[in-house]
């Protein structure tokens, strides 16, 4: 995994601060390959039902990504937010099967 332990902890703490302590974060994509170089930070975040608390998951995701990018020195962060009731898309299946829990 090409993510410093302190960055992994920071990401997990910030995701849970914004989305709640039940949010589960996985790193997936190129950063899971130790032989690769560069690449953005792809995160898959699984949460319970967000509808009552976050009517706009797109806005919430964008704000969280911007927060993390600032705290990680400008590294690009992509977040796929999945909540109960949503179908599992191919990206969710890849992240859940190949991602590394933070």
pLDDT of residue 51: 47
pLDDT, one tens digit per residue, over 51-97 is: 445 556 788 899 999 999 999 999 999 999 988 778 899 999 999 99
SS (H, E, C) 52-84: CCCCCHHHHHHHHHHHHHHHCCCCCEEEEEEEC
pLDDT, one tens digit per residue, over 25-58 is: 999 999 998 888 878 999 999 987 654 455 567 8
pLDDT of residue 16: 93
Which residues are bridge partners to 78 per DSSP?
A: 42
């Amino acid at each position: 995994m090409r993510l410093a332990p302190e960055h992994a902890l920071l990401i997990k703490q910030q995701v849970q601060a914004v989305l709640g302590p039940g949010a589960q974060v996985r790193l997936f994509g190129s950063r899971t390959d130790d032989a690769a170089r560069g690449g953005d930070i792809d995160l898959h975040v699984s949460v319970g039902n967000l509808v009552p608390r976050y009517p706009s998951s797109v806005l919430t995701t964008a704000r969280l990504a911007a927060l993390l990018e600032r705290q990680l020195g400008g590294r690009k962060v992509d977040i796929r937010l999945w909540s109960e009731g949503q179908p599992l898309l191919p990206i969710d299946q890849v992240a859940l099967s190949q991602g590394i829990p933070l």
